[in-house]
Amino acid sequence: MKTTRQASTRIWDLPTRLFHWLFAAAVIGAIVTVKVGGSWMDWHMPFGVTALVLLTFRVIWGFTGSRYARFSSFVKGPRAVWHYLRHPEKHSPAGHSPLGGLSVVALLLVVAVQAGTGLFATDDILTSGPLNQFVSSDTAALLTSIHKWNENILFGLIGLHLLAIAIYALRGKQLVPAMITGDVPLENLPSNTVPAHDTVGLKIWALALIVVLGWMGWKLVNFAKLAPMGF
């Protein structure tokens, strides 16, 4: 089993990296389609449901993925975050830092609220989420306003995410290459760093998971097309 490349160590397994870039593309796609509007709105729900499918995948991956993808490796309490802020040099640079972990959880939660409320949202004219028909018009109005309002929090978090990455880069710590290749140069890691086991078995599990979740998402999008558009 080969988990390291020459002079570097595998930190992010392939499914986590694919998740990240597809998730970013789906969220950006959902935002762009709604902002451009018109017939582009037809693509809003497919992008939004794709984000939801990927998010569900990531939650399951947080318990079953490789070492650094697991929630247990990066979801820490306030004391650990505070300790990291005061002594960042004392924390291993492998995986998400306690502060980074906090931002990951926040991003996942905010997208969950965005995509979850979208399922029930409606513009009262043309576009309704697939589950809109199952709630009263008052509930739909509430969830639609949360869907619109939460956009501001989402923008804020994405802005902070990109700002944090830029600040690390300015301070000489490049985080993006590892999210692309999966590997961090050995010289940037403590000698006792354990590599992530990015194995074939794990990739097959990820593929099976995404096929099942993708099929459920596909059903949801097509259910939206069949669902009555209100009155």
Question: Is there a contact between 114 and 28 (Cβ–Cβ < 8 Å)?
Answer: no
Answer for which of 45, 53, 54, 206 binds ligand HEM (CB under 6 A) is: 45
Question: Is there a contact between 230 and 47 (Cβ–Cβ < 8 Å)?
Answer: no
Is residue 165 close enough to count as binding ligand HEM by CB under 6 A?
yes
Is residue 105 close enough to count as binding ligand HEM by CB under 6 A?
no
Is residue 48 close enough to count as binding ligand HEM by CB under 6 A?
yes
Is residue 107 close enough to count as binding ligand HEM by CB under 6 A?
yes
Q: What angle do CA 193, 197, 202 make, to 5 degrees?
A: 155
Q: How far is the CB of 208 from ligand HEM (least distance, A)?
A: 19
CA-based nearest residue to 19, from 48, 53, 47, 45: 53
Answer for which of 121, 143, 196, 210 binds ligand HEM (CB under 6 A) is: 121
Answer for which of 118, 182, 195, 217 binds ligand HEM (CB under 6 A) is: 118
Q: How far is the CB of 108 from ligand HEM (least distance, A)?
A: 6
**Residues of this chain, 180-199, that bind ligand HEM according to CB under 6 A:** none
Answer for which of 9, 15, 31, 196 binds ligand HEM (CB under 6 A) is: 31
Answer for which of 10, 15, 49, 143 binds ligand HEM (CB under 6 A) is: 49
Q: What is d(CA 145, CA 97) in angstroms, rounded to the nearest whole number? A: 34
Q: What is d(CA 5, CA 117) in angstroms, rounded to the nearest whole number? A: 43
Which residues of this chain interact with ligand HEM, rule CB under 6 A?
16, 19-20, 23-24, 27-28, 30-31, 34, 44-45, 48-49, 51-52, 58, 69, 96, 100, 104, 107-108, 111, 114-115, 118-119, 121-123, 127-130, 144, 147-148, 151, 154, 158, 161, 165, 175-176, 179
